[in-house]
Structure 1
Amino acid sequence: MHETGLSEAIVEAAVRRAAGRRVTGLRVRIGGHPVDPEVVTQGIQVAAAGTVAADAAVDLVLEPMTVQCHDCGSSGPITDHLAMVACPQCGGVDIDVTGSDDVVLESVTMANAELGAV
């Protein structure tokens, strides 16, 4: 997954949703392939610079995919890309990979000049 493009798309969606209001927080759910949360958070902060989302707090919820091996019976979260093609325990390729690879902008918190954060 390319964290830069992902971060830019998240910020673009938040800015559209904010419709000119200042964004103070973002909650993003990322499923699927392993990503580095620090890289994604920094990418969002860089992409948000100079926009209404500059300096917004970022809350990432990571939901890794899981692998179930039919050969040895092991199961668990996918922690690297190799686990998507072979079992991390036995190396078997008779596996099922489950989970969503969706990225969802769950919420955008915006400042309201009269009421504080909304």
Structure 2
Amino acid sequence: MHELSITQSLVEAVLDRTGGRSVTGVNLRIGPLSGVLPDAVRFCFDVVSADTPLAGATLTIDESEGRARCRSCRDEFVLEDMFLLCPCGSADVEVVSGRELLVTSVEVA
């Protein structure tokens, strides 16, 4: 489960930025094409943040949608899965969003 190491890095990055202040909330954006499972991050967050200034902090994850643009027909569409195929049938698509793995904000006490 690579989400454990990703969550450890997330907690370390927040601790580096907050300077040891008590953190009450962490807000993330995770796209469906990032390869990261939001539920696994939620589980790991409580374990990794224990005994740190993030212990007990609320983790909020915005699960954005994947979007792509077809280079053939120029249509922009939602990616329902990992198959990068336009409804017109073309596989010549550009991913516009959905690969995000971002800390959008941190709330400190």
RMSD: 2.8
Shift of residue 48, structure 1, vs aligned partner:
0.9
* Residue aligning to 1:14: 14
TM-score by length of 2: 0.72
* Residue aligning to 2:26: 26
Q: Is the 8 A contact 1:32 1:99 kept in 2?
A: no
SS in 2 for 1:47: helix
TM-score by length of 1: 0.68
SS in 1 for 2:53: coil
Mapped to 2, the partners of 1:23 and 1:103 lie a distance apart of 20
**CA deviation map 1:38-88 (0-9, x unaligned):** 2121122222122111121011112233134447x5721x3433x23xx17
**CA deviation map 1:8-29 (0-9, x unaligned):** 1211111112212221111112
Q: Say whether 1:42 aligns with 2:40.
A: no
Structure 1 alignment gaps of length 5 or more = 112-118
What does 1:1-118 correspond to in 2, within 5 Å? 2-31=2-31, 33=33, 35-69=36-70, 70=72, 75-76=77-78, 78-81=79-82, 83-84=83-84, 87=85, 89=87, 92-99=90-97, 101-111=99-109
**Structure 1 residues 109, 79: CA separation in 2 closer, same or farther (over 3 Å shift)?**
same
Mapped to 2, the partners of 1:107 and 1:30 lie a distance apart of 13
Structure 2 alignment gaps of length 5 or more = none
Moved over 6 A (4+): none
Percent of residue pairs identical = 30
Mapped to 1, the partners of 2:76 and 2:81 lie a distance apart of 16
Q: Is the 8 A contact 2:77 2:86 kept in 1?
A: no
**Aligned residue-pair number:** 106
**CA deviation map 1:87-111 (0-9, x unaligned):** 1757642222212634322222122
Mapped to 2, the partners of 1:89 and 1:2 lie a distance apart of 32
